Amino acid sequence: MKSMRMTILLCIISIACFAQKKIHILVITGGHGFKQEPFYHMFDSLSKNISYDKLEQPAANELIASPAVDKYDALVFYDMYNSITSVQKQAYMHLLNKGKAMIFLHHSLVSYQDWDEFQKIIGGKYYEQATVVKGDTIKSSYQHDVIIPVKIEDHKHPVTKGLKDFEIYDEVYGHFGTQPNIRPLLSTTHPGSSHDIAWINTYGQADVLFIQLGHGPEAFGNPNYRKLLLQGIEWSVLGHRKKS
């Protein structure tokens, strides 16, 4: 009995130490303007356990297609970019097939309009141009500076743990597409928005996290958004480390 208790205790200690290992992430931007000071202040304030480098496109895609990407525990995308080579596409898919942690925020949903595989990676697509999808013509929309009621769809998921329904002053996207097998984490009833605004999408060996929120300083400073982002990074990295 003592031996079993000791084994359980050692397992708990091991898991705790594993979870507390320093996290090093790459924050990827480019292709869309944003308020840099409050944005990076948000990352500075997340946790002493998280360090980050920042890189703009196209340099970020060049790094992703190189061995240097291996030094990062997670890639956090806040870019809105369309130029990508076939080698870089293969690099994205290769990393995801190995379980690489990737978190996509806000306007990253608009990236790679001509790369069909990207919406299978991120779990959805913002249609910049009117597009026929399953017989319907879809063109996505956006609305700045609105108060968004946010509903927690999955209270048990580690990304949303401890969060209650909240409001945020932010930007909504409407009429964007989502993949059929996403796992919704957040939703909204805002009339200018599509229903699901954060989700998990499985691609290869990775569980990709997308959070539509995050347009400007009001969102960056919102404690619920910061908690969501922190827990999203921690959960994504822990999942990758377990698979490595």
Domain 23-243 in CATH: superfamily?
Answer: Class I glutamine amidotransferase (GATase) domain (3.40.50.880)
Per-residue pLDDT of the chain (244 residues; tens, 9 = 90+): 555 565 445 444 444 454 568 999 999 999 999 999 999 999 999 999 999 999 999 999 999 999 999 999 999 999 999 999 999 999 999 999 999 999 999 999 999 999 999 999 999 999 999 999 888 899 999 999 999 999 999 999 999 999 999 999 999 999 999 999 999 999 999 999 999 999 999 999 999 999 999 999 999 999 999 999 999 999 999 976 666 5
Cα–chain center distance at 199 = 9
Q: Respond yes or no on whether the N-terminal peptide bond of residue 58 is cis (omega within 30° of 0).
A: yes
pTM for the full model?
0.90
Distance CA 28, CA 99 (A): 19
Tell me the pairing of strands 101-105 and 206-211: parallel
Give the 3-state secondary structure of residue 224.
helix
End-to-end CA distance of the chain: 32
What region does 155 belong to: left with phi over 0, alpha with psi -120 to 50, or beta?
Answer: alpha
Q: Which residues pair with 149 in a beta bridge?
A: 167
